[in-house]
Amino acid sequence: MTMAPLTKIEYTDLKEYYDYQRKIQYNRERVEKIAETYDGRIAMPEYGMLTEKEIFDIMWNKVKPSDYDDPPKDWIPSDDKLRFEWELDPKTEKQLPKPKGKKVIVAAKDKWDDMMEELNETDTSN
C-alpha cells in the first residue's frame, strides 16, 4: 500500500515528530546499504552464511538512538509516508530540465560550418 507524501500542513503541525521519523529512516537506510554490501560475505559457525536481512537485523539492533546521524538537507526517504509532497521519488531516474530559449549549440555550429566552408574555398583556390 502506497501512502501519499506529507503535505506542508501535515509536516508543520507535527514537525518535530516527522523530523525524528525521517532521522530514523535515514539511519535505517544507511544500515540497509551497509548490510547489502556484506550479503553473502559473513558467516557464523552455528548459522552458516548470513543473508542481507540477517546482517541488517544484527546491525540495526545495535544502533542506539543517540548514535543517529542527521540526514543531509538533500536526502529523500525511500518510504513514501515520510517523503514531502515536493520531493521526487528517489527511485525515479533524475532528468535534466528542458532547455529554454534559443539553442546556442546550433548557432555555434552554423558559424563553425561557415568558417570551415570559407577555409575550404581558400584552400581550393590556391
Whole-number pLDDT of residue 25 = 96
Whole-number pLDDT of residue 1 = 41
Phi/psi for 43 (5° steps) reads: -125, 150
d(CA 65, CA 45): 30
pTM of the model: 0.64
Write out the chain's pLDDT in tens, 126 residues.
456 788 889 888 999 999 999 999 999 999 999 999 988 888 888 888 888 999 999 999 999 999 999 999 888 898 888 888 877 776 666 555 666 665 555 666 677 777 778 887 776 655
28-32 long-range Cβ contacts below 8 angstroms, 24+ apart: 28/60, 29/77, 29/78, 30/69, 31/56, 31/59, 31/60, 31/63, 32/56
Amino acid at 90: P
Whole-number pLDDT of residue 6 = 84
